[in-house]
Amino acid sequence: LGYLVSPKMGNYLYNLTHTFTLPLILSCSYLVGENVLGKMTLPIILVWLIHITIDRLLGWKLMRDNKKETSKLKLSHFNFEVF
What's the pLDDT at 37? 65
Its pTM surpasses 0.75? no
Q: Is 34 exposed, middle or buried (0-12, 13-18, 19+ CB in 10 A)?
A: exposed
What's the pLDDT at 25? 86
What's the pLDDT at 34? 63
Residue 48 confidence class, pLDDT cut points 50, 70, 90? very high
Q: Is 59 helix (H, G, I), strand (E, B) or coil?
A: coil
pLDDT in tens, 23-43: 888 888 887 766 666 677 888
